[in-house]
Amino acid sequence: MRGGDRSRFASERVSGFTESVIREMTRLALRHGAVNLAQGFPDFPAPTEVKEAARRAIAADINQYAITWGSKHLRDAIAAKYKRTYGVELDPEREITVCCGSTEGMMASLLAVTNPGDEIIIFQPYYENYGPDAKLCGAARRFVSLHPPGWRFDPDELRAAFTSKTKAIILNSPNNPTGKVFTSEELAMVASHCREHDCLAITDEIYEHILYDGAQHIPLMTLDGMRERTLLVNSMSKTWSVTGWRVGWVIAPPDITGSVRKVHDFLTVGAAAPLQEAGAVALSLPEEYYIQLAESYRGRRDRLITILRECGFTLYPPRGAYYIMASVERSGFNDDVAYVRHLIETARVAAVPGSSFFESKTDGTALIRFCFCKKYETLDLAGERLRRSLLS
């Protein structure tokens, strides 16, 4: 291989990226045999009936490309599910695109609707993918802060974030990392700005069924005048504990769906065909499934809250999703990344540094995020280790 400056082989698009801190912490956790409460994937089995459906689909030789925007069975099941749960009528032929997880759904949506120079509004702290997603589109980002303890936003700051260049606002509720569930009043505010500024909302609703303490999920799409300006992104990953299957979907009005499908087709062609068939079974499970899912996560949340409080953390208990934000102000560290490294190396428990959810790495340094999508025995092992390390 000839020497020379190889940096010219890195596109400008990627050279601005830093590696995902969450994945880096996961690698460090593996090296130290740490309990991984960093990356949000369940360590317990997926529902038996869903796994059996996937096995049946492979045995039945559903092994070739599905229709690029999704198998008819899955799109019909998605339409039936949204009708049942939210009373939303969807046309599976013109309003649903199945893609490779909501990660692709978000990327395909942004690529489909933005031009370089457009502005995207993002609530902060935010799920780390939204940063690179917007950058890949050449879109500028404007941030609106969510403030602890209730993670509310300042209505004036939200209003000021909308400009003549705003193309879309990204709204993730229930929210990762804060556990915030946006209220109907907050959603109404967002909707009213979208209508007034004639812009879109891209909603990440991947935790829609993981809700606590009576919190209710309201899809922004169901608010007045929002159906025609909302792209709803969701996936099987969290609701059916299959983060590795990579099956998600985007729901959008027909004209926007047309654009999303074009991007999706050239990006990935389609999600795994047999897993889409299993998706159709998953989305047809009875209501009881979702009730049990939320109840099982409530138990895990309460267990981890008890453990972390015993260990002296100040917490912001979540109303949805499966993460807990903890303040580390009393830890003696003033650097969240150093503190998480210390936890991994000494307590052998991994978390995510708070700053990875902020644009400026000097923000969020007093916070760390734990996830609790784990078996009770995993949470208890983390508890034993944290107590031994922090209380002795």
Summarize as ranges the residues that interact with ligand PLP (CB under 6 A). 40, 101-103, 127, 172, 176, 204, 206, 235, 237, 243, 248
Q: SS3 for 273?
A: helix
- Our CA angle for 206, 207, 211, nearest 5°, is 160
| CB of 130 vs ligand PLP, minimal distance in Å | 9
Cα–Cα distances (Å) from 189 to 154, 158, 215, in that order, read 11, 9, 18
The residue whose Cβ lies closest to ligand PLP is 101
Q: Which two tokens stand for residue 34?
A: 């740490």
Tokens of 84: 């049942």
In terms of CB distance, is 235 or 331 closer to ligand PLP? 235
Cα gap 344→56, rounded to integer Å: 41
Count how many Cα atoms sit within 13 Å of the Cα of residue 173 in the half-sphere of its side chain. 25
Instruction: With H, G, I as helix, E, B as strand and everything else as coil, classify residue 105.
Output: helix
- Smallest gap from residue 120 Cβ to ligand PLP (A): 15
Is the Cβ of residue 181 or residue 311 nearer to ligand PLP in the bound state?
181
User: Could you write out the DSSP letters of every residue in 37-49?
Assistant: -SS---SSPPPHH
- Nearest distance from C-beta of residue 170 to ligand PLP, angstroms: 10
Q: What letter does residue 152 receive in the DSSP assignment?
A: B
Q: To which H or E segment does residue 99 belong?
A: strand 96-99
Q: How far is the CB of 102 from ligand PLP (least distance, A)?
A: 4
Compute the least distance from the CB of residue 118 to ligand PLP, in Å: 21
β-bridge mates for residue 320, sequence order: 211
- Least distance from ligand PLP to the Cβ atom of residue 128, Å: 9
Which lies closer to ligand PLP via its Cβ, residue 235 or residue 241?
235
Which tokens go with 210? 């993981």
- CB of 170 or CB of 311, closer to ligand PLP: 170
Measured from the CB atom, the residue of 82 and 333 that comes closer to ligand PLP is 82
At its nearest, how many Å lie between ligand PLP and the CB of residue 101? 3
Buried b (16+ CB within 10 A) or exposed e, 268-286: bebbbbbbbbbbbbbbbbe
The letter for the amino acid at 273 is: A
Which residue, 317 or 335, is less far from ligand PLP as judged by CB?
A: 317
Query: Which CB sits closer to ligand PLP, 105 or 383?
Result: 105
Closest to ligand PLP by CB, 126 or 162: 126
CB of 255 to ligand PLP, least distance (A): 24
Phi, psi of 203, rounded to the nearest 5 degrees? -105, 130
Q: Who's near 337: CB < 8 A, 6+ residues apart?
A: 21, 353, 355
Nearest to 99 by CA among 250, 281, 323: 250
